[in-house]
Structure 1
Amino acid sequence: MKIAMVSAHASPLVEPGGSATGGRNVHVAALSAALVRAGHQVTVYTRRDDPHIRTEVATREGYLVVHVPAGPAAPLPRDQILPHLGEFGTFLQRHWSMHPADLVHAHYWMSALAAELAARAHRLPVLVSFHGLGTVARRHHGLADTSPRSRIRFERLIALRAAHVLAASSDEAAELARMGVPRFRTSVVPGGVDPVAFAPTGGAAARGARYRLVSVGRLLRRKGFDVGVRALAELPDTELVIAGGAVGDDIDDDGEGRRLRRIAGEHGVADRFRILGPVSHVGMARLYRSADVVLCTPWFEPFGLVPLEAMACRRPVVATAVGGLRDTVVDGVTGRLVYTPDPHEVARAVRPLLADATLRETWGAAADDRARDGYNWDKVAAATLHAYRRIAPQCDAAALSTR
């Protein structure tokens, strides 16, 4: 089948581990590659943010990336793309006239907004992966939420019009139901992990004699890194290493980075706390393997690739029981879930793992099995294809047959 993958802001060509990379970039790239391996044609449409990049780029994984002219050919913050979606949608409509697709899979609400308008002219079914919902973001951020005020209204409209919605977690599926989306038009299809890039073998980053906790993600307050910093005060002979890009260009000037360093100083753990900044894809696997425990303590998380990457590296995960983390981490089997972002609770969950190497190995082994068997990208692609086939009556049945 011919699949049009629309990802207006998150380009699959961005190098994993960079400061501009998030879970959506990885998801779109890995899913597209897995769908190609399954015998399908995939074209990814993303906004042109560089005047020198080619309009069409054929990747070595076999999918095509088309750079859509919409707004300035320069990087734009995600929430400033909305005024340019009309131009994006017009391009899609013209392009699909010359290069027909069988269905459209849009990632994030702004991509879906442009895709839905263009697809209507060609009577193409649209599937949507929201990768997080505005209702949840507003609930946790309140007035600090930077998303356009129209986001929640548009998401509800998009979800009700879509042929099918792919929720990243059971938590997101429940949120969609509260928005009025019928259950039969929603499937839970999680993100995945590359078991080759993230594996127990392959060397580890250098470390000292202390126990090591590792946290990964962009330096955003909602990621809850401060919980781990505060917990460190109750975990002697233990260090915390955070890997991830600052929101600004310079990690030393980043507001959240400064806040975390201040908290570390106030709690007397500054000498056991480090922020590495962006780490390469290869380097990230080595960093996970150097950890005794991986911490994931966000306020909310639509899905979260970090626990899966850590689990595939045979590391137990201590995580807050929010969003997709409740699906991926099995409490008492692959790690520990804490139900409040409380530093004392986090320290209490981490302490037995640091004290017992056998427990770390047992939970790490179970985590590795779960990540590889349940969340490899080929399995995610198969679940995605199953969702595609659920809308087969609206498509050419012949085009939806597997090869």
Structure 2
Amino acid sequence: MRIAMVSAHASPLAEPGSPEAGGRNVHVAALSAALVRAGHQVTVYTRRDDPHTRTEVVTREGYIVVHVPAGPAAPLSRDQILPHLGEFGTFLRKHWSLHPADLVHAHYWSSALAAELAARSHRLPVVVSFHGLGTIRRRHQGLADTSPRSRIRFERLIALRAAHVLASCSDEAAELVRMGVPRFRTSVVPGGVDTAQFSGTGGKASRGAKHRLFGAGRLLRRKGFDVGIRALSDLPDTELVIAGSAVGDDLDDDGEGRRLRRVAVEHGVHERFRILGPVSHAAMARLYRSADVVLCTPWFEPFGLVPLEAMACRTPVVATAVGGMRDTVVDGVTGRLVETTDPAEVARAVRPLLEDPTLRDTWGAAADDRARSGYNWDRVAAATLHAYHRAAPDRAADAVAVAR
């Protein structure tokens, strides 16, 4: 099958761990590589943000990345790309006339806007992964949500027009139903984890206290890193280390980083709290393995790559019971789910794992097994292909016949 991946903002070539790259970049890159391993042709279309980048790049994994000229050849935020989506879509339409595809898979709502307009003239089925919905974001962030006000309306239109929608978790699937999307046109296909890169074997980063809690992610208020800082007050001989960096408008002054450090000072735990800044993807496994517990306490989270990476490194997770973490973390088996961001409750969930190494090892082994058996990228690619077949059974059957 010839698959056109459209990811206008999240380039699969971006270095994971850098300020420009997040979970969506990792998802697009890893899924594309897994689909190539399964015998399919994959071309990823992403916006050119560097004038020196080649138009087409053939990756080591075998998929092609096409850099689409749309707007200035410079980094833009997700929302700054919106005025250039027409130009992006025009390029796709012309490119698909010369390089036909069997199916389009769009990642994020803005990518889907451009993809659906371009695909219509070629009668191509469009599969959409939203990687988080505006309705959920607005519900949890209220006026702090910086997304365009048109986002929710566009997402509903996109979802209703798409041949199929891939929800990243059960919560997202339920939200799509509330938006009016028929359940039979939705499949729950989670993100995955690179089980070769993230494992329980290998070195560990050094630590500065008897026990370590570890967190990772972009320094955004909704990530709830301050919950872990406040919980430290009830967890003696324990440090909290966070790998992450400021993003977007916060890059210059690191306002959230400064706020977190102030919280640590106010609670008298500043000597046991560190922000490492951006950490390369290759170095993350050593940090996961160095921790007794990985903390994930956001207000909301569409999927959550950090818990999976931690689980693959045999480290139990304490997480808020939101979004994808309800699916990935099994309470009392691979970690703990807490129903609130109350620091005292988080500390109560963490404490038994710090005090009982046997419990840590038991839950860590179960976490590792769950990550490897249920969330390796080849399995995620197989589930994605199944959804493609549901979206376009005739095209999928023709592609299989040609491949044979």
Find the counterpart in structure 1 of residue 94 from structure 2.
Answer: 94
Cα separation, 1, equivalents of 2:270 and 2:253: 18
- The 2-side partners of 1:400 and 1:355 are apart by 54
Paired residues of 2:214 and 2:293 also in contact (CA < 8 A): yes
Mapping 1:23-34, distance limit 5 Å: 23-34=23-34
Q: Deviations over 1:297-340 (max 9, x none)?
A: 00000001000000000000000000000000000000000000
Q: What SS class does the counterpart of residue 70 from structure 2 fall into? A: coil
CA distance in 2, matches of 1:248, 1:340: 28
SS in 2 for 1:253: coil
Give the structure-2-normalised TM-score. 0.98
Partner Cα distance (2:283, 2:66) in 1:
29
SS in 1 for 2:21: coil
Q: Please give the residue correspondences for 1:276-315 in structure 2 after superposition, counting only pairs within 5 Å.
A: 276-315=276-315
Would you say 1:322 and 2:305 are equivalent positions? no
What is the TM-score of this pair, normalised by structure 1? 0.98
Q: Is the 8 Å Cα contact of residues 108 and 129 (structure 2) preserved in structure 1?
A: yes
User: Which stretch of structure 1 is more off in the superposition, 246-255 or 92-101?
Assistant: 246-255
Root-mean-square deviation (Å) = 1.2
Residue 215 (structure 2) pairs with residue 215 (structure 1): yes
1:117-196 equivalences in 2 (<5 Å): 117-196=117-196
Q: Which amino acid aligns with 1:346?
A: V
Amino acid at match of 1:76: L
Give the whole-Å Cα distance in 1 for the aligned partners of 2:251 and 2:117: 39
- 2:35 is aligned to 35
Conservation of the 8 A alpha-carbon contact between 1:36 and 1:42:
yes
1:166 corresponds to which letter in structure 2? L
Q: Does 1:247 pair with 2:247?
A: yes
* 294-303 vs 202-211, which moves further: 202-211
**Partner of residue 341, structure 2:** 341
CA distance in 2, matches of 1:258, 1:130: 31
Q: Secondary structure at the match of 1:158?
A: helix
Are the equivalent residues in 1 in contact too, given 2:389–2:396 (CA < 8 A)? no
Distance in structure 2 (CA, Å) of the matches to 1:306 and 1:332: 19
Give the letter for the 1:247 counterpart: V
How big is each residue's C-alpha offset from its partner over 1:20-47, in whole Å with a ceiling of 9 and x where there is no partner?
1110000000000000000000000000
The corresponding residue for 1:58 is 58
2:355 matched residue in structure 1: 355
1:18 counterpart = 2:31:
no
Aligned match of 1:48: 48
Q: Do 1:227 and 1:341's aligned partners in 2 also have CA atoms closer than 8 Å?
A: yes
Secondary structure of the residue aligned to 2:398 is coil
The structure-2 alpha-carbon separation of the partners of 1:153 and 1:249, relative to structure 1 and needing over 3 Å to count, comes to closer
Matched residue type, 2:311: M
Letter of the 1:211 counterpart: H
- Are 1:252 and 1:258, in contact at CA under 8 Å, matched by a contact in 2? no
- The code of the aligned residue for 1:118 comes to A
- Percent identical among aligned pairs is 84
1:161 and 1:112 map into 2 onto residues whose CA distance is 10
Task: Answer whether contact 2:127 2:391 (CA < 8 A) is retained.
Answer: no
Counterpart-to-counterpart distance in 2, 1:354 and 1:229: 16
- By how many angstroms is 1:210 displaced? 1.9
Instruction: Report the 3-state secondary structure (helix = DSSP H, G, I; strand = E; otherwise coil) of the residue aligned with 2:121.
Output: helix
1:100: Cα distance to partner?
0.1
Q: Deviations over 1:106-135 (max 9, x none)?
A: 000000000000000000000000000000
| 2:373 match | 373
Maintained 8 Å contact 2:6/2:45: yes
* Partner SS for 1:265: helix
Secondary structure in 2 matching 1:11: coil
- Deviations for 1:12-70, whole angstroms, at most 9, x for unmatched residues? 00011112111000000000000000000000000000000000000000000000000
Q: Secondary structure, in 3 states, of the residue corresponding to 1:184?
A: helix
- State how far apart, in whole Å, the 2-side matches of 1:303 and 1:132 are: 8
Give the count of matched residue pairs: 403
- Determine if contact 1:251/1:277 at 8 Å carries over to the other structure: no
Structure 1 letter corresponding to 2:365: A
Which residue type is aligned with residue 144 of structure 2?
A: A
Q: Give, as a single letter, the amino acid of the residue that structure 1 aligns with 2:84.
A: H
Deviation per CA, 1:263-307, whole angstroms, max 9, x where unpaired? 000000000000000101121111001000000000000001000
Q: What residue identity is the alignment partner of 2:272? A: R
Distance across 2 between alignment mates of 1:396 and 1:369: 32
**Aligned equivalents of 1:393, 1:335: Cα separation in 2:** 39
Q: Distance in 1 between matches of 2:312 and 2:252?
A: 31
Distance 1:393 1:358 in 2: 49
Q: 1:249 to 1:282 in 2, by over 3 A?
A: farther
Aligned to 1:226: 226
Q: Which residue of 2 aligns with 1:116?
A: 116
Q: 1: CA distance between counterparts of 2:251 and 2:346?
A: 26
> Structure 2: any 5+ residue segments left out of the alignment?
none
Distance 1:135 1:233, change over 3 A: same
Cα gap change, 1:393/1:199 in structure 2, threshold over 3 Å: closer, same or farther? closer
SS class of match (1:233)? helix
Matched with 1:202 is 202
The question of whether the paired residues in 2 share the 8 Å contact of 1:125 and 1:394 is answered with no
Q: How far off is 1:395 after superposition? A: 2.4
Q: Aligned partners of 1:315 and 1:135: how far apart in 2?
A: 32
Aligned residues of 1:124 and 1:395 also touching (Cα < 8 A):
no
